[in-house]
Amino acid sequence: MELLSINGLCLIIGVTEKTAKNWIEEFSTHIPKTTELGMTYYHPEAIDTLKFIKTCKNKNYQTPKIREMLANNISPITMQRTIEDVQRSLEQENYKENLLTVMQTIEKTISNVADQEKSIKSLQEQYYEQNKRIKDVDKQAKEINDLKQEIKALKQKLTPAKEYEEKKESFAKLFKQQKEDNHCFNQIITKLNQGI
C-alpha cells in the first residue's frame, strides 16, 4: 500500500493545499486516509476521488450533488477498513519504516521538482521580459534612425530655402542701396540744374 502526503496529493491533483484540505474536509467519508506517527497519509484511491471532485467543481456542481454522485460511484470508507490498514501497517514494522523513508524521499523529490518548476518558470518569465526589452530597444533604434533620416532630408530641403532667403536679402540690400544712390544722384542733378 503506497500512501501519499497532502503535498503529494496536491501535486498530483494540481490544486493548492488549502483547496485539497477543504475538499478532504467536505468529502471526508470518500477520502481514504491513515494516520501514522501523528501524520496523516492518503490512500492512492484518494487521487481518483479528488480528481473526480475537481472535475465536478470545475463544472460548478454544488457540494450536495457531488456527495450524491460520489455515493453512487464510490463506496464510503468504513472505519473498519481504516483500522485494518493501521493494524496491518503496525504489524509490518520494517515495511512501515521503509515506507516512511520512501514517502519522505518521494516528498522531497516532489518538492525539488516543484522548486525546479518554479525556477524554470521564473527563468522563462525573465527570458520573455528580456526579449520584450530587446524588441523595444530595436524598435526605438529604428525610430531614431528614421528620425535621423527625416532630419537629414529636412536639412537638405532647408538649405536651398536658406540660400534663397540669403540671396533675397542680399538683393533687397542692393536695391535699397541703388535706390539711395539714385536719390543722391537725382539731388546732385537737381542742384546742378539749379546752378546753371
Residue 78 has pLDDT above 50, yes or no: no
Q: Which amino acid is at 4?
A: L
106 exposure class (CB count in 10 Å sphere: 0-12, 13-18, 19+): middle
In the chain, what percentage of residues exceed pLDDT 70? 81
Residue 94 has pLDDT above 70, yes or no: no
Residue 137 DSSP symbol? H
In the chain, what percentage of residues exceed pLDDT 90? 15
Contacts of 148 (CB under 8 A, 6+ apart): none
Model pLDDT, residue 95: 57
Q: What is the pLDDT of residues 126-147, one digit of tens each?
A: 888 888 888 888 888 888 988 8
Q: Are 46 and 10 in contact (CB under 8 A)?
A: no
Q: What is the pLDDT of residues 49-62, one digit of tens each?
A: 999 999 999 999 99
Model pLDDT, residue 19: 94
Residue 190 has pLDDT above 80, yes or no: yes
Residue 103 has pLDDT above 80, yes or no: no
Q: How confident is the model at residue 77 (pLDDT cuts 50, 70, 90)?
A: very low
Model pLDDT, residue 84: 52
Q: What are phi and psi of 3, to 5 degrees?
A: -100, 155
Query: DSSP E strands: which ranges in the chain?
Result: 33-36, 39-42
Q: What is the pLDDT of residues 12-37, one digit of tens each?
A: 999 999 999 999 999 988 888 888 88
Q: Nearest Cα to 17, choosing from 44, 43, 39, 50?
A: 50
> Is the overall model pTM greater than 0.85, yes or no?
no
Q: Are 20 and 60 in contact (CB under 8 A)?
A: no
- Phi-psi map region of 14: left, alpha, beta (phi>0 left; psi -120 to 50 alpha): left
Residue 31 DSSP symbol? S
Model pLDDT, residue 88: 56
